[in-house]
Amino acid sequence: MDIAKVGVIGAGQMGNGIAHVFALAGYDVLMTDISQDALEKARQIIAGNLDRQVTRGRIDAAEKDAALARIDTTPSLKDLGPCDLVIEAATERETVKTAIFEDLVPHLAPHTILTSNTSSISITRLASRTDRPEKFMGFHFMNPVPVMQLVELIRGIATDEDTYQTLHAVVERLGKTSATAEDFPAFIVNRILMPMINEAVYTLYEGVGSVQSIDQAMKLGTNHPMGPLELADFIGLDTCLAIMNVLHDGLADTKYRPCPLLTKYVEAGWLGRKTQRGFYDYRGEVPVPTR
């Protein structure tokens, strides 16, 4: 089917990034959030990121203006009903996501494809809470969305071939590359990435190395652009913990047990960059390790 109008649920870091790339690719975008302030802030962030692309010569001013004109916002979830494709990009909590789908489904057109940007939660289980499991898929963008080239496509047990092929074509139109993953906990990227981050936290917890030495070792020793603890702060420690819990609960293997130190940081509200403190303290001019 042809996709013309796209609904995005959530105006946070992932939601505004998804709205950005879809508008730039020529889709009409309707973004919703329970917070009007979040919607206004999202438009400002998208405008700033588009300005950055203009400055770097990746798009011109006319493309920027056209993209911004394609983005509309609404505080009402039901306004997304006529969209051809809806992408849920709310917080990584299954109860939140299922509540959103249950509220949204009665307003959807019969042809609408429903997707989740979840980084770890079962697509089959989320789809079962809707009226269209055959038109439901995981549509997992990487952060930051305008920069990262990968999109994971995750089929639930009931997802039909037309839905998969439609989303595969959408990814190509966005100028990105898709990787198809089976519906198992955390899919591909986070199945590999999160245990590495969790092991880095264990390495810190056990005193094998400091925050600085662990990150420096991985950056210089494996040529990673960011150390694992720095990356955890960027992702959000609450998100890292949530994904590790999904892996641990879903696969029942002790190798996925979240590090107690990761749990302690989340309990303290030290969630990384978004709260100004995580494995680093970001309140000064230069990030300083907190341990």
pLDDT tens digits, one per residue of 186-206 = 999 999 999 999 999 999 999
Q: Is 119 a catalytic residue?
A: yes
What is d(CA 261, CA 277) in angstroms, rounded to the nearest whole number?
A: 14
Q: Is 16 a catalytic residue?
A: no
The residue annotated as part of the active site, out of 152, 178, 198, 230, is 152
Segments of the chain assigned E as strands = 5-9, 28-32, 71-74, 85-88, 113-116, 136-141, 150-155, 177-181, 280-281, 288-289
Q: Is 134 a catalytic residue?
A: no
Q: Is 190 a catalytic residue?
A: yes
Q: What CATH class has 5-181?
A: alpha beta
| Contact in structure between 52 and 23 (CB atoms under 8 Å) | no
CATH topology for the 190-289 domain: N-(1-d-carboxylethyl)-l-norvaline Dehydrogenase; domain 2 (1.10.1040)
What is d(CA 34, CA 39) in angstroms, rounded to the nearest whole number?
A: 9
Q: Which amino acid is at 104?
A: L
Give, in order, the Cα–Cα distances in Å from 259 to each of 120, 132, 142, 190, 198.
18, 37, 24, 16, 6
Nearest residue to 96 via CA among 78, 75, 116 = 116
The residue annotated as part of the active site, out of 119, 120, 122, 198, is 119
Question: pLDDT value at position 290?
Answer: 96
Give residue limits of the domains in the chain: 5-181, 190-289
Reading the block at residue 145, the tokens are: 């969305």
- For 155, phi then psi, to 5°, come to -90, 135
What is d(CA 257, CA 278) in angstroms, rounded to the nearest whole number?
A: 20
| Residue 97 half-sphere exposure toward CB, CA atoms < 13 A | 26
| SS3 category, 276 | coil
Question: pLDDT value at position 92?
Answer: 87
Provide the angle, in degrees to the nearest 10, between the axes of the packed helices 237-251 and 189-205.
Answer: 110
The residue annotated as part of the active site, out of 140, 178, 198, 230, is 140
Low-confidence ranges of the chain (pLDDT < 50): none
Question: pLDDT value at position 1?
Answer: 76
- Model pTM score: 0.90
The residue annotated as part of the active site, out of 120, 122, 190, 198, is 190
Reading the block at residue 166, the tokens are: 């439609």
Long-range contact list for 50-54, CB < 8 A, 24+ apart? Answer: 50/20, 50/24, 53/146
